[in-house]
A = this chain, B = another copy of it.
Amino acid sequence: MRTRPAQVKIPPRIEGLIRVTRRLPMADRILAAADRLFYRKGIRAVGVDAVAAEAGISKRSLYDTFPSKEALVAAYLRQRIRPLPPSDAPPAQQVLALFDQLHARFAAGDFRGCPFVNAVTELAEDCKTARAIAADYKEQRRRHIAALLARAGAGEPEALSGHIALLLEGAIVSMLIRNDPAGALQARDAAAILMQAAGALPR
């Protein structure tokens, strides 16, 4: 996590297309390893040596692919942003299903919280990039919820989506501390009450 003297070493041949394609699996292997370790053990707790070992490559190759650990962490976070799969269920049910999905992830056993929040917490003072990625992701998800709520006929979908998002975050933290998947269902109950009060759910 030191300063970075700008390397990356441009290949002699100008056309990098083939080269990039060739290099992709390498970057993917590293990212997959980083994802496992960073998420499970924490970013600060995992050194680059451990990532390289987990990926089955040398540290040298890691540093030929990513210029620094900081860049690797940023790539790890960006790769964690995945769009929500589309669904043709009723919008209100889709919102409630978010809590059920959370519950399933809790019950899976390897839950370690939200990777974005964890990164911001761990990196503390030097987390500008992580914070930006995290804020982007959270806002994108909230908008998605707001759109669903609007279709469901909620009175103030913007405000309600914020409330729902708060409950989702709260459920994650609750699971982290209490290690009890039931928190997701409590949050679902609260969400249902709020949605009902906002007219987004038949009473």
> B-contacting residues of A (Cβ < 8 Å)?
40-42, 44-45, 112-114, 116-118, 120-125, 131, 134-135, 138-139, 159, 162-163, 165-174, 176-179, 183, 186-187, 189-190, 193-194, 196-197
Contacts and interface: CB of A to CB of B under 8 A. Distances in A.
A122 B125 contact: no
Contact of A177 (B40, B117, B193): B117
B173 A117 contact: yes
Name which of A112, A117, A124, A131 has the most chain B CB atoms within 10 A of its CB: A124
Contacts of A176: 117, 120-121
A166 B138 contact: no
A67 B41 CA distance: 25
Nearest to A160: B190
A72 B135 CA distance: 33
Contacts of A163: 167, 186-187, 189-190, 193
B135 A159 contact: no
Contact of A190 (B42, B189, B194): B194
Contacts of A125: 40-41, 45
A187 B166 contact: yes
Contact of A169 (B40, B134, B159, B173): B173
A157 to B, nearest CB: 14
A124 B197 contact: no
B169 A165 contact: no
A112 B123 CA distance: 11
A116 to B, nearest CB: 7
A170 B177 contact: no
Contacts of A118: 121
Contact of A44 (B122, B134, B168, B186): B122
